[in-house]
Chains A and B, each alone.
Chain A
Amino acid sequence: MSETVIKCESVYKIFGENAKKMLEESNGNVDAKTFQEKGCIVGVNNASFEVAKGEMLVVMGLSGSGKSTLLRCISRLTDATGGKIFIEGQDLLELNNKELIELRRNKMGMVFQSFALLPHKTVVENIAFPLQIKGTNTEESISRAMEMVKLVGLDGRENYFPRELSGGQQQRVGIARSLAVEPDIWFLDEPFSALDPLIRKEMQDEFLRLQEKLQKTIMFITHDFDEALKLADRIAIMKDGIIEQLDTPANIVLNPATEYVRKFTEEVPREKVLIIEDVMDASSKDDLGDLKVSKDEIIENVAEKILTQEKLVGVVDSNNNIVGSIKPSKIIDTVFGGRKNGS
C-alpha cells in the first residue's frame, strides 16, 4: 500500500459534560448504554483505520450511527474526546489554531449535505471564497474559480445566486468550492443525499469522472449502501459509533462480519458488485476450456458467456497469465444461492 494520509487510532467522540473524565475512567471500554444513563452520548466509539493516498474510503451508516461525527473529528470541526488522528503524519489534535487554519486552507476540502453555500454570493464568488480567505487577490481567485465552474459544468451560470440553482447545480458549486484550493484530502458529507435519484446517479458518475482525473484522498460519508458499493475502494460500516466492518466492497458482500452488515448485503445484486477475481478458484488452473475472462471483469458483464461453457473457464490477469479458473455453476451459485452463509 502506498503512503498513509489519514490515520486514526482509537478515536472517541463523546458528547456531554463529563465526557473526557468518563472516557478516562472507562479504560477504553466504552458502553453506549452506561454512558447514556450518565447523560453522555457516544458519537464515535473506538475508531481506528487508515486511508492511503488516492484511496476513497466510504463511511456508510444509518442516521445517528456517528459517521458524520467521525468525519467532523477528522476535519476537526469538533475535537475528538480521545484517541489520535494523524494527517500526513501530523498529529491533528496537537495543532494550534493557526496551524489548523493553514491545514484547512491548503490541504482540505469539504462538501456538505445541504450544500452550505453562502446565500449572498454568486456561484463564482462562492467558489472563489476559500481562495479569497487565503488572501489570493481578486483577479486570480476569480479566474481560478472560473476554471472550477467549467470543471463542474456550470459555465454560463457563474453569476447566478445559489437560490436560483437546482439542488444538483448547487452541489456542483459546493464541489467546485471544495476543490478550488486544490486540496489533497477531500471530505464529502452525504453530498448526494439531498438530490433526486436520477440527479444523484448523474452526480455519482460525474464524481467518479472527477476522481479519476484528480486522484484525491477521499472520505465519503453516505447512508446509501448502493452508493457506497458503487464508489468505494473500501467501505467502513458504522453502527452506534462503532465501525462494524471495514473492507473492500466485494469482501463486505461476500463475508459480512456481523449480522448487521449482512442485512445490508442481502438485497445487493452481487453480479453487479463482484468481479471475477472475487469468486474464482485460484488453485485449479488445469483442464480449462477455450474461453478466457479477465479477473477484473464484473460478473454481470461475462456471466452469459461463462454460463454457455461446459468446461472450466480460465481467468487471466492483465498480462494474460492464467491466475485461476471458474466453474459456470459458480456463477449461478454466486448470483442466486448461498446468501444466508455468505459465499
Chain B
Amino acid sequence: MEYLKKYPKLFQWLFLLIVFFALCFAIDVPETYKFIRGQAEFVKDPNQSVYFFLGKEVRYYAFDVFWRLPPLLGWLPIWINDSLFFLMNEWMPMEFWNEDTQEFKTRPILLQISRNLTAFMTFLIELIREILLGGLETIVAFTSWDFIDAYPWLELPGLPWTIVAAGAAILSYKLSGKGLALFAGLTMIYISIFGQWKPSMQTLSFILVAAPLSFIFGLGLGIAAYKSKRVEKALYPILLVMQTMPQYAVLVPALVLFGVGDHAAVIITMVVAVPPMILLTILGLRAVPPEVIEAGRMSGCTNWQLMLKVLIPTARRDILIGVNQVIMVCFSMAVISAFIGAKGLGFNLLLALNQLNIGLALEAGLCISLIAILLDKMSLAWANKQTDYFGNLTFFQRNKNVIFFAASFVIGIILAYVGTFIFKGSFNYLFEIPHNKGISTADFWNKGVDWIFDTFFVYIKAFNTWLIQDVLQPMRALYLRMPAVATLVLAVGAGYLIGGIRSALVVAALTLFIALSPWWDRALVTLYMATFGVVISCLIGFTVGTLCFQNKKSAAFMLGVCDIFQTFPSFVYLIPVMMLFGITDTSVLIAVIVYATIPATRYTIEGLRSVPVGLHEAATMSGVNKFQRLTKIEFPLAFPHMMLGLNQTIVFALFMVIIGAFIGTEDLGQYILKALSDKNGAGIGLTLGICVAFIGLIFDNLIRTWVEKRKKHLGIN
C-alpha cells in the first residue's frame, strides 16, 4: 500500500499494461484472418462483407470487432476521389477565352485556375532553366511558335558552365568569403566535369522557383497568423498534420489537380515546405521581446516598418531555421517529385536506383547534396551579411564583384567560342559537358559494390537472414497480433495517464481514424518498422550525443555533422544501404536508423548543453564524479529536451519508412506508391498520408504533453 501511495503513476501504468496484455490474450486470432485485407475498393471477393455509405460501396473482410474494427471510413478515399473529380471536371463551368483556338470554351473554374497556375509555374521554371541551359520556350511564351520560326536566333543560348561556376563563386565570396567561394567553385566544376550539368541545372531551376516562393508564402502566412488569432487557429491543425505527413502522400492529389511535370512538383513542394516556414515564423515573432517592439514603436515605426525592420530581423534566428528547412524540403522534394515527372537529378537518381546502378545513383545523390549544402550556406551567409558604412572605398573596391563577374562572363563566352574550334564536330566541353560525356566514377563504385557483395556476401547474407528471421519477423508478428481493441486501450490509457482526459480524447480520435480506415494492418507494419528504427536510433543517438558532449569541440563537431546530414535529401540515404544490403527490409531499416539518428543526437547534445552552469558547479562542489553528475544532474534536466528529440526521431523514422516503400516494404508507403499509378489514387494517397501523419501526431501529442508537464515540474522555461 505504501508503494501505491508513493508511486501512484507507476501502478496506474502497470494496471494499463495488465489490461492490455489481458486483452491480447483474451482475444484470439480469427481463423480467417490473413494479413492482406481491407483493400476496400481494390479486390472483389465473395467472402467480403459490403456496406453502403453516402452511396459509396465499401467492401471489406469482416472480423470480430474486438480483433479488427470494420473499415467504417472506407468510403472516405472514394469520396475524396469523387469530390476531386467533380471539382475539377464539373463544378461551376464558366466561359474562358482560349488563345490557341481563338474562341470561348466552357471549362470548370477550378480546372481553369489550376491550368493558369501551372502555366505560370511552368513559365517561371522555364525562364530560369533557359537562362542556365538555353531554349526557346520563354520567347515562345511571349510571342508564338511562328515568331520563333521566323527569328530562330532569338532562342536563348544558355550560359556556358564556366560562367555559372564563376558566378556562383563570386556570389559566395560576396556573401561569405573565400571558403564558401572555393566550395561553390569546386562544386560547380565537379558537377560539370562529371557530366551532371544539365540535370543539375534543371534541378536548380526547380529549386530557385520553389524555395523563394515557399519562403515568401511561409513568411507571409506566418505574419498573418502572428497578427491575427483567427488565422492562426484556422492554420494550426493543417500545419500540425502537414508536419507529420509523409511527402509521398501529397504527390497523388497534386497529380490529379495539376497534372504531371515540374510545375506540379513546384506546387507540391510549396505545400510541403510552407508549413514549417509558417511555424518557425510564428515562433520567431512570438519570441521577440516586448520591449524591442516598444522601442520600435517609440522610434516612430509604422506597422510596416515595425514588421520589416524590427520584428523580422529580430526573429531572424528562427526564420533562418525556417529557410534552412525550406531548402531541405525543396531538395528532398526535388527527388520525390521525380515520381510525378519533375526533370533533373532526382529523375536520374530514381532511374539509377531502379536499374540498381548504385554508382550512377551515388553521383547524382552527391550532386544534389552538394548543391543543397551550397544553397543552405549561401542563404545563411546572406542573412548574416553586414553593411560597412565607414569604409572609404574606391569605385573598383565597391564594384569589384560586378567587375569580376563581367570579366568572367566575357572570358566564359570567349572560351565557349574558342571551344567551338577546338572540339570541332564533337561536343563543346567549354560550353556544356553532356550528360554521358563527363568523367564517371559509376563503374568504379559499381565494381566496388560487386566486390563487397562477392567478398562479404556470406556475412551480409547471414546478418540479413538473422535480422529478418529472428528479429523483424517475430516483431512484426507481435505487432499484427495485437487486437485493435487492445491497441486502442493502450493508446487511450497512455493518453489519459500522461495528459488527462484531453489528451486521451485526442489520442482516441487519431487512433480511431486509423483503426476505422481500411489500412489498420498496414499501419501496424509501418509502426513496427518505425518502432524498430526509433529504438535503435535513440540508443545510438543518445549514446553518441552523450559521448560527444563530454568535450566541447567534439560536441560542436557533431552538431556540424548533423547539420550537413540533415541537408541531404532523404532519398540519398537509400543509396549506400542499397549498396550493402540490396533490396531488403534491412536496407530500409538501416536507412531509417541513419536518418533518424540525426535528431536523436542533436537533441541529446542540445539538451545536455542547456543544463545551467550553476548546477554543474553545485554538483561538483557536492563532490560528484563525472558519471554521477551525468546520471543525477544532467540527464534528468536534459531529459525533456531529449524527449523532443525522440519526437523528431519518430517523425524522421516514419518519413524514411514511407520512402523505403520504394525499395519494397509492406507498409502504408507501399500503398501510397501504388496509388501514384492508380487513376483513382488521389483519395487513397491522401487518406494513407493522413494515417501516417496521425501515427506521428499520436506520439507527438503524448510526448509534447509529457514534456510540458515535466518542464513545468522542473521549472525550466
A contact set with B: CB distance below 8 Å: 72, 75, 77, 101-102, 104-106, 108-110, 112-122, 124-125, 129-130, 133-134, 138, 142, 159, 174, 177-178, 181, 187
Name the residue on A nearest B291 (C-beta).
A116
Can you list 8 contacts pairing A with B, beta carbon distance less than 8 Å? Answer: A110-B295, A112-B291, A112-B294, A117-B295, A133-B301, A138-B389, A177-B295, A181-B300
Known: A105-B300, A108-B298, A181-B300. 9 other contacts (CB 8 A): A77-B297, A101-B300, A104-B298, A116-B289, A117-B292, A119-B313, A120-B313, A122-B386, A134-B300
Closest Cβ–Cβ distance, residue A115 to chain B (whole Å): 8
* Residue tally, chain B, CB below 8 Å to A: 21
Name the residue on A nearest B388 (C-beta).
A159
Q: Say whether chain B's binding surface is mostly helix, strand, loop, or mixed.
A: helix
Name the residue on A nearest B295 (C-beta).
A116
The reply on B309 being an interface residue by CB < 8 A is: yes
Residues 155-191 (chain B) with a chain A CB within 8 angstroms: none
The reply on B111 being an interface residue by CB < 8 A is: no
Name the residue on A nearest B386 (C-beta).
A122
The reply on B455 being an interface residue by CB < 8 A is: no
- Please determine whether A104 and B297 come into contact, CB atoms closer than 8 angstroms: yes
Going nearest first, the 3 A-B pairs with the smallest beta carbon separation are: A105-B300, A130-B299, A116-B295
The reply on B305 being an interface residue by CB < 8 A is: yes
Name the residue on B nearest A101 (C-beta).
B300
- Please determine whether A119 and B299 come into contact, CB atoms closer than 8 angstroms: no
Separation of A174 and B292 alpha carbons in the complex (Å): 11
Separation of A120 and B468 alpha carbons in the complex (Å): 54
Separation of A181 and B300 alpha carbons in the complex (Å): 10
Separation of A134 and B300 alpha carbons in the complex (Å): 7
- Please determine whether A101 and B302 come into contact, CB atoms closer than 8 angstroms: yes
> What does the 1/0 interface line of B281-301 toward A look like (CB < 8 Å)?
000000001011011011111
- Please determine whether B300 and A112 come into contact, CB atoms closer than 8 angstroms: no
**Chain B residues whose CB sits within 8 angstroms of the CB of A125 once the complex forms:** 387, 389
Separation of A117 and B289 alpha carbons in the complex (Å): 10
**Chain A residues whose CB sits within 8 angstroms of the CB of B310 once the complex forms:** 118
Separation of A159 and B387 alpha carbons in the complex (Å): 10
Closest Cβ–Cβ distance, residue B402 to chain A (whole Å): 20
- Please determine whether A77 and B294 come into contact, CB atoms closer than 8 angstroms: yes
**Chain A residues whose CB sits within 8 angstroms of the CB of B389 once the complex forms:** 124-125, 138, 142
Closest Cβ–Cβ distance, residue B286 to chain A (whole Å): 16
- On whether A120 and B316 interact (CB within 8 A), knowing A105-B300, A114-B289, the answer reads yes
Separation of A109 and B313 alpha carbons in the complex (Å): 22
Choose from A72, A112, A120, A124 the contact partner of B295 (Cβ within 8 Å).
A112
The reply on B390 being an interface residue by CB < 8 A is: yes
Separation of A121 and B291 alpha carbons in the complex (Å): 16
Separation of A129 and B314 alpha carbons in the complex (Å): 14
- Please determine whether B298 and A110 come into contact, CB atoms closer than 8 angstroms: yes
**Chain A residues whose CB sits within 8 angstroms of the CB of B294 once the complex forms:** 72, 77, 110, 112, 116
**Chain A residues whose CB sits within 8 angstroms of the CB of B305 once the complex forms:** 133
- Please determine whether B291 and A114 come into contact, CB atoms closer than 8 angstroms: yes
**Chain A residues whose CB sits within 8 angstroms of the CB of B387 once the complex forms:** 125
Separation of A205 and B347 alpha carbons in the complex (Å): 70
Residues 268-325 (chain B) with a chain A CB within 8 angstroms: 289, 291-292, 294-295, 297-302, 305, 309-310, 313-314, 316
- Please determine whether B291 and A130 come into contact, CB atoms closer than 8 angstroms: no
Number of cross-chain contacts by CB at 8 Å? 69
Choose from A102, A115, A120, A177 the contact partner of B300 (Cβ within 8 Å).
A102
- Please determine whether B314 and A118 come into contact, CB atoms closer than 8 angstroms: yes
Separation of A24 and B244 alpha carbons in the complex (Å): 51
Closest Cβ–Cβ distance, residue A94 to chain B (whole Å): 18
Separation of A138 and B390 alpha carbons in the complex (Å): 11
Closest Cβ–Cβ distance, residue B307 to chain A (whole Å): 13
**Chain B residues whose CB sits within 8 angstroms of the CB of A72 once the complex forms:** 294
Separation of A134 and B289 alpha carbons in the complex (Å): 23
Closest Cβ–Cβ distance, residue A56 to chain B (whole Å): 19
Residues 85-137 (chain B) with a chain A CB within 8 angstroms: none
- Please determine whether B299 and A104 come into contact, CB atoms closer than 8 angstroms: yes
- Please determine whether A104 and B390 come into contact, CB atoms closer than 8 angstroms: no
**Chain B residues whose CB sits within 8 angstroms of the CB of A105 once the complex forms:** 299-300
Separation of A133 and B316 alpha carbons in the complex (Å): 19
Closest Cβ–Cβ distance, residue A6 to chain B (whole Å): 15
Closest Cβ–Cβ distance, residue B253 to chain A (whole Å): 40
- Please determine whether B295 and A133 come into contact, CB atoms closer than 8 angstroms: no
**Chain A residues whose CB sits within 8 angstroms of the CB of B292 once the complex forms:** 116-118
- Please determine whether A159 and B298 come into contact, CB atoms closer than 8 angstroms: no
Separation of A112 and B293 alpha carbons in the complex (Å): 11
Closest Cβ–Cβ distance, residue B304 to chain A (whole Å): 11
- Please determine whether A118 and B313 come into contact, CB atoms closer than 8 angstroms: yes
Closest Cβ–Cβ distance, residue B388 to chain A (whole Å): 8
- Please determine whether A159 and B289 come into contact, CB atoms closer than 8 angstroms: no
Name the residue on B nearest A143 (C-beta).
B389
Choose from A133, A138, A159 the contact partner of B299 (Cβ within 8 Å).
A133
**Chain A residues whose CB sits within 8 angstroms of the CB of B313 once the complex forms:** 118-121
Name the residue on A nearest B294 (C-beta).
A77
Closest Cβ–Cβ distance, residue A158 to chain B (whole Å): 8
Separation of A104 and B298 alpha carbons in the complex (Å): 6
- Please determine whether A133 and B291 come into contact, CB atoms closer than 8 angstroms: no
**Chain B residues whose CB sits within 8 angstroms of the CB of A178 once the complex forms:** 298
Separation of A159 and B301 alpha carbons in the complex (Å): 23
Separation of A145 and B391 alpha carbons in the complex (Å): 16
**Chain B residues whose CB sits within 8 angstroms of the CB of A114 once the complex forms:** 289, 291
- Please determine whether A104 and B300 come into contact, CB atoms closer than 8 angstroms: yes
Name the residue in B289, B295, B316 with the highest tally of chain A Cβ atoms < 10 Å from its Cβ.
Answer: B295
**Chain A residues whose CB sits within 8 angstroms of the CB of B295 once the complex forms:** 110, 112, 116-118, 174, 177
Separation of A177 and B386 alpha carbons in the complex (Å): 20
Separation of A117 and B313 alpha carbons in the complex (Å): 12
**Chain B residues whose CB sits within 8 angstroms of the CB of A117 once the complex forms:** 292, 295
Name the residue on B nearest A114 (C-beta).
B291
**Chain A residues whose CB sits within 8 angstroms of the CB of B301 once the complex forms:** 101, 133
Closest Cβ–Cβ distance, residue B384 to chain A (whole Å): 9
Closest Cβ–Cβ distance, residue B713 to chain A (whole Å): 26
Separation of A116 and B291 alpha carbons in the complex (Å): 5
- Please determine whether B291 and A75 come into contact, CB atoms closer than 8 angstroms: no
- Please determine whether B314 and A119 come into contact, CB atoms closer than 8 angstroms: yes
Closest Cβ–Cβ distance, residue A161 to chain B (whole Å): 9
Closest Cβ–Cβ distance, residue A144 to chain B (whole Å): 12
Name the residue on B nearest A178 (C-beta).
B298
Name the residue in B294, B300, B390 with the highest tally of chain A Cβ atoms < 10 Å from its Cβ.
Answer: B300
Name the residue on A nearest B310 (C-beta).
A118
**Chain B residues whose CB sits within 8 angstroms of the CB of A138 once the complex forms:** 389
> What does the 1/0 interface line of B642-685 toward A look like (CB < 8 Å)?
00000000000000000000000000000000000000000000
**Chain B residues whose CB sits within 8 angstroms of the CB of A104 once the complex forms:** 297-300
Separation of A115 and B289 alpha carbons in the complex (Å): 11
**Chain B residues whose CB sits within 8 angstroms of the CB of A181 once the complex forms:** 300
Separation of A117 and B305 alpha carbons in the complex (Å): 16
**Chain A residues whose CB sits within 8 angstroms of the CB of B289 once the complex forms:** 114, 116
Closest Cβ–Cβ distance, residue A36 to chain B (whole Å): 23
Closest Cβ–Cβ distance, residue B7 to chain A (whole Å): 39
Separation of A77 and B301 alpha carbons in the complex (Å): 12
Closest Cβ–Cβ distance, residue B380 to chain A (whole Å): 14
Separation of A118 and B308 alpha carbons in the complex (Å): 12
Name the residue on B nearest A72 (C-beta).
B294
Separation of A117 and B387 alpha carbons in the complex (Å): 18
Separation of A106 and B291 alpha carbons in the complex (Å): 20
Separation of A248 and B292 alpha carbons in the complex (Å): 33
**Chain A residues whose CB sits within 8 angstroms of the CB of B390 once the complex forms:** 159
Closest Cβ–Cβ distance, residue A194 to chain B (whole Å): 11
